[in-house]
Structure 1
Amino acid sequence: MFALSALVALATFLPLVQLAIRASGSGLDSFTATLLRPRTLTLLVNTLAVSAVVAVGCFVIGVLTAWVIVQYRLPARRLWWVLACLPLAVPSYVAAFAWLATWPGIHGFWPLSAVMILTSAPLVTIPTLGALVLADRSLVDVARTLGRGPLHTLATVTLPQILPAALAGTLLVVLYTLSDFGAPAMLRYETLTTGVYGLFTGGLNRTAASSLALLLAAVALVCISGERALRHRTGDLNRSASTSRRISKRMPTGLAVAVQVALGTIAFAAIGFPVTALLVRMFDSVRYASDWARLLEATGTTLLLGAVAASATVALALPISYLASRYRSRMVNLLESMSFLGDALPGVVVALALVSLALLLGPGAYQSVLVLLACYVILFVPKAIGSARSAFGQVSIQTEDVSRTLGRSAASTWFSVTLRGAAPGIAAGWLLVLVSVFKELPATLMLRPIGVSTLATELWGKTTLGAYGAAAPIGILLILVGLIPAWWLSRSVSTE
């Protein structure tokens, strides 16, 4: 089990090593010249600017949305819990396509930032909802008794308790923004991700592409280090959790109406408008009819790739998940941290590294299904590890000991007791990986075998041709697929 865990951890670390080797292949001077080019600086500034704006926007919207939903008893409260999570079902490039199909002239920094905020805000809302449910309510009651207003109490009492969860969600937003390719490309705003992809597809300078990819990975790693430093400084503020029953307050009628209008507007802009725009475009378009046979083939390919990738990812994640839930040695912590490196590496970075590795193995390896599946595993194994680790942690060690005392072997106990008890959490991780594979765009574009198309690549192909009517059904399918984990997450964080 330890050997397999080490192998998985090394596999996730290999892309960075390969990128470093490839980027330095032309010498340090060439690598430095690439990084110091004015265009590289422009791409870096663009990437950091949009990431900062999206992070701040998602933090504000996510924290305020979670606070209102938990703190106050709004009409149709269960509906607001669901609507807060549903925007996760909309891939950013699908949302960008919906807005672009409605207003073809929009492009640039602010449209991209708005799309990213609308689709990514639930990444902050969901962990903040969970933290608010567990927060110590007595401190809030004391602050209100002393005459502090709701917003003052939120800023000085509640926010310090939920800050670690909100920062963790904000980090996910930043990493998602750094790695996103489809939305910046559609809205014509150049970032490091589009720069890497442009150099790769142009084929003019793969070494420069590797250098940019390494810079992008470095930015992501710096963001992770910064979030961890902030989390360590604020973590001691959330030591206790209230065990008393949380009683939500009623909001004055006028304010409740205004809050519901605001929440409804955000929900409509995030998910209602994209769905409506895609349906209108699908039924009104006559110039580009959908090729339903091709769409059915892409759907089947997407399902097959997703199922195989999710199964392989979960299987490889099980050993390290179990070790992380049972042992806290330095070696296990190191292996777990290395395995989570996929969270910090954008898809275009991993794909570019695997292209170089595949070419070293032989011409038949490049654009093979195995290389594509390996990319999916590296990118999404953190999702499987996180879910499985929590699930294994909920299986009582005493239950395993009882099984052993009844004469069962260690292997039999692991399969019949431990694995069976953790099955729901493992299945949730499988579902998250499945949907992530469905939505992955740049890695699939770069590594897919010739003639193989998925829903994501079909949508990309149609939009580049301006065939918005033919692309609309694909966007709707991608949203419908994403509704499953979004609805599941809304149930998992709801207190009702």
Structure 2
Amino acid sequence: MVAPTVSLPATPVARPDKTARPGPLVAATVTVLVAATFIPLGYVVWGAISVGWRRAYELVVRPGVGELLFNTIALVALTVPLCVVIGVGAAWLVERTDLPGRSFWRPLFVAPLAVPAFVNSYAWVGVIPGLHGLWAGVLITTLSYFPFMYLPAAATLRRLDPTVEESARALGSDTPGVFFRVVLPQLRLAILGGGLLIGVHLLAEYGAFAMIRFNTFTVAIFQQFQVTFDGAAGSMLAGVLVLLCLALLIAEASARGSARYARIGSGAPRAAPPIPLGRSTIPALAAVVALVVAALGVPVLTLARWLWIGGADVWELGAIGTALGQTLGLASVAAILTTVLAFPVAWVAVRSRGVLARVVEGANYVTSSLPGIVTALALVTVAIHVARPLYQSVPLIIFAYVLLFMPRALVNVRAGLAQVPPSLEEASRSLGSSPSATFFRVTLRLTAPAAAAGASLVFVAVATELTATLLLAPTGTRTLSMLFWSFSSELDYPAAAPYALMLVLIAIPVTVLLFRQSTKVAAL
């Protein structure tokens, strides 16, 4: 991904055409997806209409909503910049420097995604019993979500042409100057996409904040649905979340602008030479170790304590094996399907311009900002009244995962697709290749690293998802996260530990495999 001011060679790159139109298959897929994303939003709107506008206004402006608004905005305003600093910094260290053990650190920077946020929250409360409030929420969510920034930044750094940085050094720039003047501008799309992804997940997070007694809109919505059963009040608060998400979308779109990120060719056919850290090696290692200890060490040590207390009795191999198999099956199918469906949406977002492209892309983020319980209740309502055979079925829960986690795949696929010049696809078709052959031979090869990163994000998200799974899963479904929550809710933390540990372990090999495969494909 090369910024316009530093792209080499200076070859004209076609901008997206305002009149560019998707093919019939892409158009049909995008239309169905956009329509589906409005199901949860329609559920919220119908809730407002059913109670009347006056009652809806009273529910929104009632006492306490101002505090929820401040807490939610402050959380996003503090956490997203911290994730940018940590995620981009970690990606630069492992992809651009001679940091010792770089291949060892890569999967560890992604592994926190496998730790459910409520597990991370409980672990820190166990270390600091008085931990609560805004700064506790910032600490826990930063440690849980910084991989959302690290993954796209690392994928982009691996594809940057090292010639650009070498030219800057030859012109007298030092390492910090090269980073801020050359590398950082080329990471803009990854940073904006990762920041948007983190923002919408902060809006929808519940478990981590409930554990530390930090009230956000999502916590209040769960209280309305689960404690008071006041669906109208919950729907009104969910409507405010939608408005906050729209604000994030507008801010991201404005910052992204119309800059061109594609370039002809794959750049220099070699990896960038690592930058020697010299005297900074020890401080860099200390920072990396501290990050891994805070993000992984604390929850892992807490789980180890639970396992030690429980002993061999907590390892029910039959139940663990069944839960592991169901988790892997659901997560794999959802990751593949979501990533495949992200391609047509990303194509419209990147290749088209104007209101249509914004609506197609933004609809997915609006839906993902809603709490999982709102999406699940909306799908339950639709299934019961319109398609009863789908109620508590595997297709319905997979559909919910696609709605909830499409942005995790979309933000990566979009970043990869933005680097593919339309002229390369046009050249392929002019040589006699069909659109499908062009996609597999040109587009897919160049977007493989980004698609693999998106698939890994969806996989670990589904593996650790809880609320929608509880409501939509077919009878007899017992995933790792469901059993962990069941035991921990009963305060049987030793019995819950094996399931949480399995969630952490399955993410590391999957991430390593996806990165190796994507690097191999991209190099062909």
Same fold (TM over 0.5): yes
Partner Cα distance (1:464, 1:248) in 2: 48
Residue of structure 2 equivalent to 1:54: 79
Aligned pairs (5 A) from 1:288-307:
289=314, 291-307=316-332
Q: Give the 3 Å change call, closer, same or farther, for CA 240–66 of structure 1 in structure 2.
A: farther
Asked if 1:260 corresponds to 2:298, the answer is no
Deviation string for 1:188-231 (max 9, x for gaps)?
22221121122112353101111111211221221121112112
Residue pair 1:72, 1:250 contacting (<8 A) in 2 also: yes
Q: Which runs of 5+ in 2 are unaligned?
A: 1-24
CA-CA distance at 1:420 after TM superposition: 8.4
Partner Cα distance (1:112, 1:378) in 2: 25
CA-CA distance at 1:58 after TM superposition: 1.0
1:95 to 120, 126, 133: 120
Q: Give the 3 Å change call, closer, same or farther, for CA 125–307 of structure 1 in structure 2.
A: closer
Match of 1:110, SS state, is: helix
Residue of structure 2 equivalent to 1:32: 57
Asked if 1:249 corresponds to 2:275, the answer is yes
Deviation string for 1:406-455 (max 9, x for gaps)?
xxxx7xx84x8856884994777655544322221222234335654322
| Equivalent residue letter for 2:231 | R
Partner Cα distance (2:409, 2:428) in 1: 24
Deviation string for 1:104-138 (max 9, x for gaps)?
55433333321211122222223333444527315
Asked if 1:141 corresponds to 2:169, the answer is yes
Residue pair 2:107, 2:508 contacting (<8 A) in 1 also: no
Higher mean displacement: 159-168 or 435-444? 159-168
Aligned pairs (5 A) from 1:399-410:
none
Q: Give the 3 Å change call, closer, same or farther, for CA 46–139 of structure 1 in structure 2.
A: farther
Residue of structure 2 equivalent to 1:22: 47
CA-CA distance at 1:353 after TM superposition: 2.8
CA-CA distance at 1:15 after TM superposition: 1.9
Residue of structure 2 equivalent to 1:340: 364
Residue of structure 2 equivalent to 1:66: 91
Asked if 1:438 corresponds to 2:463, the answer is yes
Asked if 1:45 corresponds to 2:73, the answer is no
Residue of structure 1 equivalent to 2:201: 176
CA-CA distance at 1:475 after TM superposition: 0.8
Partner Cα distance (1:459, 1:401) in 2: 55
2:103 to 63, 78, 84: 78
CA-atom RMSD in angstroms: 4.1
Asked if 1:460 corresponds to 2:493, the answer is no
CA-CA distance at 1:27 after TM superposition: 0.9
Residue of structure 2 equivalent to 1:407: none
CA-CA distance at 1:182 after TM superposition: 2.0
Residue pair 1:161, 1:238 contacting (<8 A) in 2 also: no
Higher mean displacement: 468-477 or 321-330? 321-330
Q: Give the 3 Å change call, closer, same or farther, for CA 225–488 of structure 1 in structure 2.
A: farther
Partner Cα distance (1:382, 1:325) in 2: 12
Residue of structure 1 equivalent to 2:136: 111
Match of 1:25, SS state, is: helix
Runs of 4+ in 1 over 6 A off after TM superposition: 236-242, 329-332, 362-365, 386-389, 391-395, 400-404, 493-496
| Equivalent residue letter for 2:357 | N
Deviation string for 1:319-378 (max 9, x for gaps)?
x36964996476973674266344444433422432443454488866555543331222
Residue pair 1:217, 1:346 contacting (<8 A) in 2 also: no
Identical amino acids, percent of aligned pairs = 30
| Equivalent residue letter for 1:91 | P
Higher mean displacement: 342-351 or 113-122? 342-351
| Equivalent residue letter for 2:273 | I
Match of 2:65, SS state, is: helix
CA-CA distance at 1:167 after TM superposition: 2.7
Partner Cα distance (2:349, 2:261) in 1: 24
Partner Cα distance (1:104, 1:469) in 2: 19
Residue pair 2:153, 2:191 contacting (<8 A) in 1 also: yes
Residue pair 2:306, 2:493 contacting (<8 A) in 1 also: yes
Residue pair 2:118, 2:207 contacting (<8 A) in 1 also: yes
Higher mean displacement: 16-25 or 467-476? 16-25
Residue of structure 2 equivalent to 1:350: 375
Q: Give the 3 Å change call, closer, same or farther, for CA 40–12 of structure 1 in structure 2.
A: same
| Equivalent residue letter for 2:361 | S
How many corresponding residue pairs? Answer: 482
1:376 to 401, 405, 412: 401
CA-CA distance at 1:242 after TM superposition: 11
TM-score (norm 1): 0.81
Higher mean displacement: 268-277 or 353-362? 353-362
Q: Give the 3 Å change call, closer, same or farther, for CA 32–418 of structure 1 in structure 2.
A: same
Q: Which runs of 5+ in 1 are unaligned?
A: 405-409
Residue pair 2:45, 2:239 contacting (<8 A) in 1 also: yes
CA-CA distance at 1:470 after TM superposition: 1.0
Q: Give the 3 Å change call, closer, same or farther, for CA 436–242 of structure 1 in structure 2.
A: closer
| Equivalent residue letter for 2:472 | L
| Equivalent residue letter for 1:137 | E
CA-CA distance at 1:32 after TM superposition: 1.1
Residue of structure 2 equivalent to 1:481: 506
Match of 2:64, SS state, is: helix
| Equivalent residue letter for 1:285 | G
Residue of structure 1 equivalent to 2:6: none
Deviation string for 1:220-245 (max 9, x for gaps)?
22112111211228x47998999566
| Equivalent residue letter for 1:333 | A
CA-CA distance at 1:26 after TM superposition: 0.8
Q: Give the 3 Å change call, closer, same or farther, for CA 455–242 of structure 1 in structure 2.
A: closer
Match of 1:74, SS state, is: coil
Residue of structure 1 equivalent to 2:299: 274
Residue of structure 2 equivalent to 1:126: 151
CA-CA distance at 1:314 after TM superposition: 5.6
Residue of structure 1 equivalent to 2:35: 10
| Equivalent residue letter for 2:169 | D
Residue pair 1:289, 1:470 contacting (<8 A) in 2 also: yes
Q: Give the 3 Å change call, closer, same or farther, for CA 28–274 of structure 1 in structure 2.
A: same
Partner Cα distance (1:292, 1:103) in 2: 33
Partner Cα distance (1:139, 1:343) in 2: 42
